[in-house]
Structure 1
Amino acid sequence: MLDDLLKLIKNSPRWAQSRLARRLGFAVDEPAEEDPEPETTDHESLWTKLRVSGAQPPVRSGHASVVVNGMMYVFGGYNDGNCHFDLYAFDLTHHHWTKLENKGVVSPDGRASHAWCASADETKLYLFGGSGPHWGQTNMGKLLQFTLATQKWSVVTTAGTHPPPGYGQSMVAIGSKLYLFGGTSGHVYVNDLFIFDQVTATWSCAAATGTKPSPRYKHQAVVSGNDMYIIGGGLYDPPKGPIDMYKFDALSSHWTKVECVGDLPRSRIAHSVVLHTTSSGKATFLMFGGRDETGTRLNELSSLDLATSTWVRLSEDAKAPDARDFHTGVMWESAMYVFGGSNGIERNSDVHRLALAFEPSTLLVLAVQAVQSQLRSNKALQMQYRESYLPLELRTAVQSLNPDVTIASNDQWFPLPDANRAKQKVHPHAFCS
């Protein structure tokens, strides 16, 4: 079986033309007739608007999203004079929406522009702040948690120096602590950093050193190692000029203004920033959208190399999402996902996927491509594997190859009689034995 799979891989045109195949010294049975694919650069990308299934959320902006184990959890948001209090889960592999029903007695109030993050152990989702539709008049200041195992909300009983109610803050987890920065009451903008110790359930206001960011809201906070980065944000309108960035070292409790170079993006609020780390360890921020000081919504895509603090404006893509702000962006398996937001006239609930072309395909993905091609053209192989079930690893890889493929169509590669389908067990190494 392994020999057959290797033959399929070797005969795959993409594998035959890849630099990795040549570097590893694989002999190709027959040279490819067509020209090799052009070499990609670090700045190539591909946007796709996903076709989704399930209970898709109503349109919204000002919501918040976080990823845990391949699921994007979306809470709250605003539309048409109302703030949502619903919680949805989007399966990033199968592109399926599920509305989660609260199994407890505590339920959060509807809100937008709140802070939302997962605990470091990814067992709980934390919610703080936000405002109802009358901005600044219904600010919220309780810390709530949603336990993923039980699907129950609860109010966290806390002690210490509590952050004030407000909205537009950011919140991230580093180890056993949550870091809440910035925000506004609707009248006053702050640059305080509050730390919540999950072990002692105690809030404290950080006594940090260094140069901390100016007061702001609707910035982005991203964690890399023990460092929290604050990117952009501002008052109701962002400041003029290029975007700024600050780093907070959680170990030393020290702020540093990061002096960036390159093609600096303009300042903005209500944008999205995600961290992408390649297999070689290179860390890059990807930033999309937002609103600049003129009130213009953006659909720019920029990247920042963390090692050199260099910004690059990525080439425009005709398939990029429309210009928007108050959307969310998350990162999962070398792809950025953008959900919802507003273009200033209307809101949406679409999901766009940015596949990073500079991330080299794994052998698993190459194998899937070869198997997919061979099965479609070879009836004998189709019969040989008729009683097999596509393993989870390959289903996931197939999904990454084609965002429009649903899990149902993946299963149809290897159709099982209805009587046997329920009894069939998935063997995780079916293609490796």
Structure 2
Amino acid sequence: MLATAMATANSGLAYPERFYAAATYAGFGGSPNSAGKGIVSKLSNDSALLLYALYQQATVGPCNIPKPRGWSPIEQSKWTSWTGLGKMVSTEAMRLFVKILEEEDPGWYSRVSDFVPEPVVDVEINHIPEVAAVSENGNISPETKTIPTDNGNLSEIKDKNIVSEGPGVVCVYDKWVALPVSGTRPKGRYEHGAAAIGDKLYIFGGNHNGRYLNDLQVLDMKSWTWSKAEIQGGKDGLPTACAGHSLVPWDGNKLLSVAGHTKDSSETLQVKVFDLQTSAWSTLKTYGKPPVSRGGQSVTLVGATLVIFGGQDAKRSLLNDLHILDLETMTWDEMDTVGVPPSPRSDHAAAVHADRYLLVFGGGSHATCFNDLHVLDLQTMEWSKPTQQGEIPSPRAGHAGVTVGENWFIVGGGDNKSGVSETVVLNMSTLVWSVVTAVQARVPLASEGLSLVTSSYSTGDILVSFGGYNGRYTNEVHVLKPSHKSTLQSKMLETPVPDSVSAVQNVTNATRDVESEFETGQEEKLREIVMDDVASEQRVTKGEETNKNILSSLKTEKEELESSLSKEKMWALQLKQELMESETRNMDLYKELQSARAQLAAEQSRCFKLEVDVAELQQKLQRMDTLQKELEILRRQKASFEEAALNAKQRQSSAGVWGWLAGTPPGSES
């Protein structure tokens, strides 16, 4: 019980005046309020003892009285509970007192009518004339305010629950409240991007009447005032109007707009960066192979990486691929997973648990909506589909989700027929669903494409919802403060429990058994239990030493991991430098290759011309062979003619001699 109260005590709800009101209501420190008569007698034994011990610690201080003598189990239990608180400061005891009372009797404060020392400031709201009216003498008079109840109907909450004083306050647990805001409201929209950095809510882009938007709106969550961000001239100018994208806070002063549907979408997924210091947009330069462009995907920041799953591409094809962008090396990587992944879908919700497990819930295809839950182990990259428990939500798509500790809140969405009115929460450790609240149908919180973020106040986290579409485009702002019951377990895991708390838990558990045995008259058993208390205290001391050893080993392991992480970062930077050098060398080689290709083309052209010349020469050679043959024939003919002529001449000369001898004069034969 005390551990539970300790885990939620840091919310800052218990002021001293509220403590004294709670103490009087519970019956401590004077006559109890009429509404609280008998409240202590109605509590469990351990709760009553803790309230007593905390009251003494808050009003008197640490226990300095000696241990009571005799065997009065009640007095000894009171003394043991008080001393178990050790040196706890009085303010912490006051807060724990109020927390335990609220846990046992959540509505006690609304029933206190004789005194309201100070209102509980859950959400500070400046400039809210609708909540309170100022009388003629300048005093602020509380008025009633209308808010939706569990069944969606509107009811009036009196000034006990919603009170305005000075800046104004809202105190309603597990209920959505529509906040009046000032400034120029942005256009109603859905499928926009939303992110919270500090006390500012940033809204970028979205869909309004079928038109994509690219404005950046800012809501100051202290004054609840809207304004439009003035964009300076960056190197890329204004980003392209888009919808279905994701807006992710990064590096403390930057916003990442990831993916989204645009009218002139590129082939690959784009990441835009808005620098809050320079008020300028730019395109994130990445390496590796980026995913195809898409919208309706989920983008989850896990450490220094973005995990992108699913969505719908420009051709309306549904996807279920998984990509990771390392924000330190700016390198994309498509992950190969094992197991059965979720079916292709878009407009789903995703969250990370313990920096290791990626949870994907719901979403839709072209024909149906889902309510299945899938878990991806980011270390083994294995998908699984665990069994859901509790009040499992109905199928939906276009819903919004946000985590508070280990609780995952899901708001809105639709199933192609109507909007979903229930706000549900999943405990990511136990995978148990429960319904937080419900609203009336066709209100902004039962819309598709709305956004949901968390904002931290001194009183704890609140959920802030904006926009959505359920037949009309809305620009309303709603807030919900989760009760300590819905966030109890996560805060217990996040808040270290002091050693004194462990000791008190052991003592109070034994005290409950002591009183039971005392009532039955078993005194021997009582003595044994008291001895067990002493042994338990000794075990606590040993446990403290063990815890110190464990903390020491964890510290050493942490230092080793930090050293290893530092080395990994240096190695990654070295690889990035080598990659850049390789790209430079590749570019030079590419240029050389292009030059060689040009030279090769010129040589190929020259070779072709030479081949043509050779062909022509071959033709000339063939003609020369023919001419040579003809010349040879002519030569032979000439030789024949010459030989014939010579022979004829010889015969002629031979006939002339014999004719002369015969007395025939030359020329008489012719």
Query: TM-score, normalised to structure 1's length?
Result: 0.70
Q: How does 1:253-402 map to 2 (within 5 A)?
A: 253-277=381-405, 283-292=406-415, 294-316=416-438, 321-333=444-456, 334-343=461-470, 345-358=471-484
Residues in 1 aligned to 2:19 and 2:393: alpha-carbon distance in whole angstroms: 43
Q: 1:147 to 1:23 in 2, by over 3 A?
A: farther
- Give the structure 2 partner of residue 235 of structure 1: 365
- Give the structure 2 partner of residue 39 of structure 1: 105
Residues in 2 aligned to 1:172 and 1:6: alpha-carbon distance in whole angstroms: 38
State the one-letter code of the partner of 1:11: Y
CA deviations over 1:52-72 (Å, ceiling 9, x no partner): 122321111111111222322
CA deviations over 1:122-147 (Å, ceiling 9, x no partner): 33211122113x6x978873211112
Q: 1:255 to 1:95 in 2, by over 3 A?
A: same
**2:140 equivalent to 1:74:** no
- Give the structure 1 partner of residue 17 of structure 2: 8
Shift of 1:103: 1.7
Residues in 2 aligned to 1:310 and 1:341: alpha-carbon distance in whole angstroms: 27
- Give the structure 2 partner of residue 172 of structure 1: 300
Residues in 2 aligned to 1:37 and 1:199: alpha-carbon distance in whole angstroms: 45
Residues in 1 aligned to 2:434 and 2:227: alpha-carbon distance in whole angstroms: 36
Residues in 1 aligned to 2:411 and 2:385: alpha-carbon distance in whole angstroms: 21
Shift of 1:329: 0.9
- Give the structure 2 partner of residue 426 of structure 1: none
Which of 55, 64, 68 does residue 25 from structure 1 map onto?
Answer: 55
- Give the structure 1 partner of residue 223 of structure 2: 94
Q: How does 1:45-64 map to 2 (within 5 A)?
A: 45-64=174-193
State the one-letter code of the partner of 2:480: L
Residues 10, 28 of structure 1: 8 Å contact kept: no
- Give the structure 1 partner of residue 639 of structure 2: none
Shift of 1:149: 2.4
Higher RCO (C-alpha under 8 Å, 6+ residues apart): 1
In structure 1, runs of 5+ residues without a counterpart are 30-34, 278-282, 363-433
State the one-letter code of the partner of 1:147: D
Instruction: Please say which structure displays the higher CA radius of gyration.
Output: 2
Residues in 2 aligned to 1:170 and 1:75: alpha-carbon distance in whole angstroms: 16
**2:328 equivalent to 1:199:** yes
Aligned length: 340
State the one-letter code of the partner of 1:263: E
Shift of 1:310: 1.0
Residues in 2 aligned to 1:193 and 1:306: alpha-carbon distance in whole angstroms: 21
In structure 2, runs of 5+ residues without a counterpart are 1-13, 27-35, 37-46, 61-100, 108-149, 151-172, 492-670
Q: 1:99 to 1:258 in 2, by over 3 A?
A: farther
Query: TM-score, normalised to structure 2's length?
Result: 0.47
State the one-letter code of the partner of 1:330: V
Residues in 1 aligned to 2:389 and 2:16: alpha-carbon distance in whole angstroms: 47
Match of 1:24, SS state, is: helix
State the one-letter code of the partner of 2:469: S
Residues 289, 297 of structure 1: 8 Å contact kept: yes
Residues in 2 aligned to 1:69 and 1:301: alpha-carbon distance in whole angstroms: 25
CA deviations over 1:194-228 (Å, ceiling 9, x no partner): 11111221111012223321111011122223132
Q: 1:214 to 1:91 in 2, by over 3 A?
A: same
Residues in 2 aligned to 1:192 and 1:125: alpha-carbon distance in whole angstroms: 24
CA deviations over 1:323-346 (Å, ceiling 9, x no partner): 211111112232111100011x21
Residues 46, 357 of structure 1: 8 Å contact kept: no
Residues in 1 aligned to 2:206 and 2:228: alpha-carbon distance in whole angstroms: 15
Residues in 2 aligned to 1:16 and 1:77: alpha-carbon distance in whole angstroms: 50
Residues 263, 312 of structure 1: 8 Å contact kept: yes
Residues in 2 aligned to 1:130 and 1:302: alpha-carbon distance in whole angstroms: 27
Shift of 1:98: 2.3
Residues 128, 140 of structure 1: 8 Å contact kept: no
RMSD: 3.3
Q: 1:198 to 1:92 in 2, by over 3 A?
A: same
Greater share of helix residues, 1 or 2?
A: 2
Q: 1:129 to 1:7 in 2, by over 3 A?
A: closer
- Give the structure 2 partner of residue 212 of structure 1: 341
